[in-house]
């Protein structure tokens, strides 16, 4: 019997701990793990965890408003960002 390697977004983000480094890929709305980013946001809103993450990305992953990395634009969720383009992620740029 094989074990499925496919998990829900909520299960995937459950292994992220306070202070971890998280990397994301994509550009604009293309190739962005939207469900995973939304699940991180939901977990933070509901459980105040994870906190103090370092976020690494190269391209602007968002829509300039609410999607993409903008899900992570909450005070306390991120400690540090290492990003290549902040124009599409104003919620992070404001932190």
Distance between CA atoms of residues 8 and 38, nearest Å: 12
pTM of full prediction above 0.95:
no
Q: Which residues contact 92 (CB under 8 A, 6 or more apart)?
A: 55, 69, 70, 72, 73, 78, 81, 83, 86
Q: What is the pLDDT of residues 10-57, one digit of tens each?
A: 999 999 999 999 999 999 889 999 999 999 999 999 999 999 999 999
Distance between CA atoms of residues 20 and 2, nearest Å: 30
| Cβ atoms within 10 Å, residue 64 | 14
Q: What is the pLDDT of residues 51-89, one digit of tens each?
A: 999 999 998 899 999 999 999 999 999 999 999 899 999
């Amino acid at each position: 019997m094989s074990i499925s390697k496919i998990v829900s977004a909520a299960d995937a983000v459950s292994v992220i701990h306070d202070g971890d480094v998280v990397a994301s890929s994509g550009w604009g709305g293309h190739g962005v793990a939207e469900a995973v980013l939304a699940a991180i946001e939901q977990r933070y809103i509901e459980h105040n965890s994870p906190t103090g993450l370092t976020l690494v990305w190269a391209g602007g992953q968002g829509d300039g408003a609410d999607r993409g990395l903008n899900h992570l634009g909450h005070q306390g969720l991120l400690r540090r960002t290492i990003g290549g383009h902040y124009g599409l992620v104003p919620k992070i740029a404001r932190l």
